[in-house]
Amino acid sequence: MPRVKRGTKRHDRRKKILKRASGYFLTKSKLYQAAQEAVERGLKFAYIGRRQKKRQYRSLWIVRIAAAAKINHFSYSQLINGLKKAGIELDRKMLADIAVQDAPGFTRLVEQAKAALAAEKAAK
């Protein structure tokens, strides 16, 4: 079996890790072992952060919708329930955008939700 020399592949792999670690503090940007650990750790946090970002945006949208609903003397949970009963299928991102950009439009949505809840209450 012929002998395999891994010079260029090993050099390329190390260079890639050290390039990703440029800007890290002290040995983390200079020494391969420390750089590799730092880069892997950073990639792990980046992966987690991409998932956390989705949660954080959803909670921001909910806060904005709740604040706009409070202005219209309505709670967030009642609003969401009323919109579902009225058959209005808007996601929280769109509702939050409407609440911030178009207050009269949001007020109309609240009125429709109130009407749907009142109609359901009257049916019982």
Write out the CATH class of domain 9-123: mainly alpha
Cα gap 78→64, rounded to integer Å: 15
| DSSP classification of residue 34 | H
Helices (H) and strands (E) in the chain, counts: 5, 0
For residue 51, is pLDDT > 80? yes
CB 69 within 8 A of CB 76: yes
User: What tens digit of pLDDT does each residue of 89-118 get?
Assistant: 999 999 999 999 999 999 999 999 999 999
Long-range contacts of 41-46 (CB under 8 A, 24+ apart): none
| Domain locations in the chain as residue ranges | 9-123
pTM for this entry? 0.81
Residue type, 65: I
Q: Read off the tokens for 3.
A: 């002998």
